[in-house]
Amino acid sequence: MPIDHAAVLQMGLLFAAALWAGAQNQLAGGGSFLTLPALMLTGMDARAANITSTVALFPGQLTGGWYARKLATGTPSLSLRALVLISLVGGAAGAVLLLVTPSSFFARLVPWLVLFATAAFAWGSFGRKPATGESRLSPLLAGFLQFLIAIYGGYFGGGIGFLMLAALTLSGLAMRAAGATKNLLAGAMNLTAVAIFLFSGQVHWLPAAIACAGAMLGSLVGAHMLHRVNEKALRVCVVLIGVALTIGLFLRA
């Protein structure tokens, strides 16, 4: 049986992109900016690529949430249990919303989602960080914002870390506690999303397995490099990737 060299090259590029994405998620976030286009290059439509990317990156995300659990905490007005439940429900709602979105419509929507995710990443990386307790949100508003973020997380997910950091610090959490809490909540919202995606028939399993292996290995590399990399330079790189991806997706749409 002849070897399909083009397919082998695509899978090799996918593994390399996922390796980078896993390391990037450990160091700065934004790994889906790499896995989404890499999966689309294998021939998937945008919706299937997004679903497959979410499933592939989930084990590494779950690991991050597990390690963060001891530092995670609720806000002064909302318990951690309430935030987790909100995230579980919102993630499931976002996943269902994605599955009922026609592939053609989602393909036209993706450039705007990537643009929003890039803007959120840039704002979270280089914008003014809100002070702990500054303009503290009411319990109702804090819960509603987390629910909206969880829906967006289950639907697309780019930039959710920075959106949650902003919401949690405005709700009164210190930055370190907010960082640990958002990792746990990101794992929660994707737990229900992935559970739904697994039975959707939309996951491309071979690319998902290759991307998952690359991302897990990249997570180990990223954890080892955590104190050896210029984080600001890495965040600039992520923003540039997001801008290039946004332009490319708009030209392709």
Q: Please provide the DSSP assignment of 27-69 as one string.
A: HTS-THHHHHHHHHHTT--HHHHHHHHHHHHHHHHHHHHHHHT
C-beta of residue 90 within 8 angstroms of C-beta of residue 146: yes
The CA distances from residue 32 to 79, 118, 162, in Å, are: 29, 11, 14
**From 35-44, 62-71, 116-125, the region with the lowest mean pLDDT:** 62-71
CA distance 149 to 194: 16
- Helices then strands, counting H and E runs in the chain, come out as 10, 0
CA distance 151 to 193: 9
Q: Which domain holds residue 222?
A: 5-252
C-beta of residue 166 within 8 angstroms of C-beta of residue 130: yes
pLDDT, one tens digit per residue, over 199-235 is 999 999 999 999 999 988 888 887 677 667 777 787 7
Residues 159-165 have a mean pLDDT of: 82
Number of domains in the chain: 1
pTM recorded for the entire structure:
0.85
State the greatest distance between any 2 C-alpha atoms of the chain, in Å, as a whole number: 65
CA distance 128 to 88: 29
State the DSSP code for 229.
Answer: S
CA distance 31 to 221: 14
The residue assigned the tokens 């071979």 is 206
C-beta of residue 80 within 8 angstroms of C-beta of residue 125: no
Q: 201: alpha, beta or left, given left = phi > 0 and alpha = psi -120 to 50?
A: left
pLDDT, one tens digit per residue, over 61-70 is 777 667 667 7
Question: Over 90: is that where the pLDDT of 195 sits?
Answer: yes
